[in-house]
A and B are shown apart, each in its own frame.
Chain A
Amino acid sequence: MPLKIPTAACLRPRHVSRTAVHSFIVGRSQFTTSAPNAFGLRPKRVSSSGSPVLLEASRAAALARRQLPDRTGALAYKTGMTAIYTPEGVRIPCTVLQLDRVQVTAVKDRKTHGYWAVQVGLGWRNPKNVTRPMLGHYENCGVAPKKLLREFRVKDEKGLLSPGTQIKADHFLVGQFVDVRANSKGKGFAGGMKRWGWSGQPASHGNSLTHRAMGSAGQSQGGGSRVLPGKRMAGRMGGEQHTVQNLKVLKVQPELGIVVVSGCVSGPKGCVVELQDAIKKPMPVIS
């Protein structure tokens, strides 16, 4: 949305009279759904799923559309990879994550902040190395200074937890699916083959000195004699956030803070990962 609307304005019903600026925005939003062009009236805001229903352009509607888990997630350290044998003798490669003193430090709500979220802290930091403003924050929520804070968005106010609540490993159920997010290992300045998976050029058949080059960056005169924006090239690779979706929880050990998930997770050993209920799988049923 090009113009920023105050939160209170979009919460109000449409028929309430407002200032000229607000009525202009509301009036315009009715026309942004379709725009005249050479092919007649064509909708502009449509769902990516291909549904013919036009998307409503309001912050409340956008929040309702957003895929979010019901519950908060947790922070953990990636301990490393190992394997687990099922009772049938099937070996499953897995990643071991350890939750270290994970506690809720704050909540954000729709009314004040515009969305619902839970702020979660991990580990412990020496208060000597914490600034006074942050110490005040920890004092308010009643927890010891944390190594790291992260925010987990939740669907609605039912997902909020009171500050000070500890999130243990049994927050996750064996058999449920989680999305795990972490910073990937940095690879430095990488060539196109490594960064984008290109095949490169042949090793022989008269090829000389050009085996891992990126090839052409585009057409010449017919293509506008320019490199299109977003052209994949060599550059910095890794060291950015990466989410692995739908990892199955294989084992949970609350007293050791261990959550074992199937498969691999981005990042080196010892890195901090965020894990939350998978958004593309049914939510776990808490009995």
Chain B
Amino acid sequence: MTAAASAPLRRPLLSLLRGSFPAAATKRTLVQLPPAPSSLPRKIGMFAQPKVFHSPRPAHTPRRRIRIHPPIAAPATKDAIGALTSLQLATLDPTGARGRLFSRHNHDAIRVGDILQVRRKNGEPPFAGVLINIRRRGVDTAFLLRGQVTRVGVEVWFKLYSPTIEAVELVQRAAKRKKRAKLYYMRKPQHDIGNVQNIVAQYTRQRAMLRGEGKKAAHAPKGGQQHHKEKK
């Protein structure tokens, strides 16, 4: 009550409301406060009162321990598509030769700008053209060739692992590494390579010659890498 008495006289109601708390505390000054009377509770609220439980369970008894069953074994892999891809490639590309043709880890791999020839099993004539896009999607990997059929520019997507493809032959490498991943600018007339039949014919002649000499290089075109080594 001494603290209440020291409060400004013009605000008697406020000082009454403050009760036992000293006015100095509200002013935040470094004054040694007198101890509060011990008869009054320091805190009035839920913490000062005993807890009320509405559960039929008596208070402060431990809750029933729920048994937690262990989980069963998870599938062997989370990469389901990867597992499925390797499973399919085991039959579609058992030697891995086709995969190496377009692999990013292979330095001698086919790159965009190279001229390729694709032979098919279904009796259609082989298609040759410049490689303008590689779409790497595991077993669904495909590549886009741009060539000419009857003087009309034609683009064909081939699925690398398709069983209908007999062979992918590297006819000619690009003179310089292309600075783009997709050579769609080659569709423009000023960049269009046009007919590649002359280059393919020359390649076929060379190959026949090598084969006639009975060299081992006859196997080269399918792999592509060996062909490159010859050039070196």
Contacts and interface: CB of A to CB of B under 8 A. Distances in A.
B75 A257 contact: yes
B210 interface: no
Contacts of B138: 82
B74 interface: yes
Interface string A244-268: 0000000101011110100000000
A127 B71 CA distance: 11
Interface residues of B, number: 32
B181 interface: no
Interface in B41-92: 63, 66-78, 80-81, 83-85, 87-88, 92
Given A99-B75, A101-B71, A82 B81 contact: yes
Contacts of B137: 82
B54 to A, nearest CB: 16
Interface residues of A, number: 33
Interface string A130-162: 001001101100111100000000000000000
B66 A96 contact: no
Contacts of A26: none
By secondary structure, the B interface counts as loop
A103 B88 CA distance: 29
B163 interface: yes
Contact of A84 (B71, B78, B88): B88
Given A82-B138, A91-B162, A260 B74 contact: no
Contacts of B162: 85, 89, 91
Contacts of B66: 132, 135-136, 139
Given A89-B163, A89-B164, A144 B83 contact: no
Contacts of A260: 84
B139 interface: yes
A181 B186 CA distance: 43
Nearest to A133: B66
A258 B138 CA distance: 17
A142 B69 contact: yes
B74 A139 contact: no
A46 to B, nearest CB: 47
Given A96-B81, A96-B84, A256-B80, A82 B139 contact: yes
Nearest to B73: A101
B224 to A, nearest CB: 23
B77 A79 contact: no
9 contacts: A82-B137, A85-B88, A85-B139, A89-B164, A124-B71, A132-B63, A138-B68, A139-B69, A166-B72
Interface of B: 63, 66-78, 80-81, 83-85, 87-88, 92, 121, 137-140, 159, 161-164
